[in-house]
Amino acid sequence: MASHPLPERRARVAATLDALAEHRRLLALLLVWEIGKPWRLAQADVDRAIDGVRWYVDGIEPMLAGRAPLDGPVSNIASWNYPMSVLVHAVLVQALAGNAVIAKTPTDGGVACLTLASALAAREGFP
């Protein structure tokens, strides 16, 4: 996404956030099923990812002023207990900033939830 202009990156990230919000319940249920996260905390994990990235979508310009994307890919490894609010949040913000991003799912759970989140992002044009 580094080669895409900021308005296009912003539109793709915003569309991804809308898709995540639309599937919020399923994403949270997957966290309950996969890692045994309590329902309220699973919803909060999904919500923190969505709300946190929206904050960046709304105010990214001053943060990027005078900066260029990083030369190489940014790697992310999330803890097993916060796959959405750590990993998905980081990946979307880094892509919004124009960086190439790679991510590793936690070995202790969250793969189905993260796979769904990634598929929703791919539908919105993420590579």
- In order of their start, the domains of the chain are 6-123 (3.40.605.10)
Mean pLDDT for the chain? Answer: 92
* Residue 101: strand, helix, or coil: strand
pTM of the model: 0.93
pLDDT at 35: 93
**Confidence category of residue 50, pLDDT binned at 50, 70, 90:** very high
Q: What are the residues whose beta carbons fall under 8 Å from the beta carbon of 45, sequence distance 6 or more? A: 28, 31, 37, 82, 83, 84, 85
- pLDDT at residue 2 greater than cutoff 70: no
Residue range 68-106, pLDDT digits in tens: 888 888 888 877 889 999 999 999 999 999 999 998 888
110-121 average pLDDT score: 94
**Confidence category of residue 59, pLDDT binned at 50, 70, 90:** very high
CB 76 within 8 A of CB 91: yes
